[in-house]
Structure 1
């Protein structure tokens, strides 16, 4: 099921979770300005994962920032959070105002083109607050984002626009997988900020 024209802020999921899509929360000009600053000023590194005991270096780049030098472990590798910069603090405050949630960290992803994506997964790492909200802010290329129920296999997709906000909360991670499907139709970069809460 595609929900490209869903009601702003309504729950995209039919059951077993809550995903609210707010659409763009800033002007195209402001979104482009943030995109260019993030592209230039963030300490990007190629992501790493250990798969079947082998270290894999991805084309996708990532960065990890937070209130403290939080450790965050996923794909069997651990990152230590860098201190916030000016733009990230501004965006964190904006996202917290729009979502009525609070966050203490942010995992950033840089996809160089549509051929880079993410396979089906959930964000249920033990470092994260259980059933805590995860807010996804998108810049650059517009990309399709999909959900799949673990049991029923039902699919829900949404087009993430420039400067748009999507918030996953409640039991979404327990019951639904999500992915960023690759596409050859997009040849420009996308930056995605995922604001999270590391459990203290």
Structure 2
């Protein structure tokens, strides 16, 4: 591990600037840039190499199909998580992930005890429309989503269809916080793209109710 990596409780020297993104029936906030550039670059490199990435499968029309991305689940003991028939047991926190968790808790003033890491290798990797509304996340969960690497478009669609799709190009070193009733009323996705894009890591920090 690079000895210059900062494993202090927080990675920022001053409070990053927060921007509110207005939506109906929910709350979105964006911080960019979140971390000092050299720390964000180092984190991307380290996480690419050190997280225990795997390609899980899910049942579609009675067949097991590989999900179009790699993922890894880390967290406190007992923070099991399931979605779309995929059951995830938490791996122990790495030093990098624990440092990021402490940083995000300090910025957002929200507790987190787990993180779903997604690795999008290129434009063919994606995540389909969904809500983070599993029972173990509780009512109105707070999701802190940190993007590292290539810019990808993040889209949100209201369930009643009366509002335009929200499209956010999330760049390297950006934190998006979804809170309030966002997961009740909005679906979100990362669509595939035909553009030539490099890899992206997305870390979605959550709080699992025991």
TM-score (norm 2): 0.87
- Ranges in structure 2 where 5+ consecutive residues have no aligned partner: 1-16
Q: Which residue of 150, 153, 159 corresponds with 1:141?
A: 150
Q: Which residue of 165, 168, 175 corresponds with 1:155?
A: 165
Does residue 41 (structure 1) correspond to residue 12 (structure 2)? The answer is no
- Ranges in structure 1 where 5+ consecutive residues have no aligned partner: 1-7
Instruction: Spell out, residue by residue over 1:132-180, the C-alpha distance to the aligned partner (whole angstroms, 9 max, x if none).
Output: 2000001110111111111024211111111110000111011011111
Matching residue of 1:5: none
C-alpha RMSD of the superposition: 1.3
Within 5 Å, which residues of 2 pair with 1:40-119? 40-119=49-128
User: Is 1:69–1:82's contact at 8 Å kept on the other side of the alignment?
Assistant: no
Distance 1:47 1:163 in 2: 26
Instruction: Spell out, residue by residue over 1:89-114, the C-alpha distance to the aligned partner (whole angstroms, 9 max, x if none).
Output: 00001111111111000000000002
Distance 2:33 2:61 in 1: 39
Does residue 166 (structure 1) correspond to residue 183 (structure 2)? The answer is no
Q: Which residue of 185, 191, 194 corresponds with 2:201?
A: 191
Within 5 Å, which residues of 2 pair with 1:1-40? 9-40=18-49
Distance 2:40 2:72 in 1: 19
Cα gap change, 1:197 to 1:186, in 2 (>3 Å)? farther
Aligned residues between the structures: 193
Q: CA deviation at 1:53?
A: 2.5
Distance 2:196 2:154 in 1: 14
User: Is 2:75–2:91's contact at 8 Å kept on the other side of the alignment?
Assistant: yes
TM-score (norm 1): 0.91
Within 5 Å, which residues of 2 pair with 1:122-137? 122-137=131-146
Secondary structure of 2:201's counterpart equals strand
**Structure with the largest fraction of strand:** 1
Q: CA deviation at 1:41?
A: 0.6
Relative contact order higher in (CA < 8 Å, ≥ 6 apart): 1
User: Is 1:16–1:171's contact at 8 Å kept on the other side of the alignment?
Assistant: yes
Q: CA deviation at 1:28?
A: 2.6
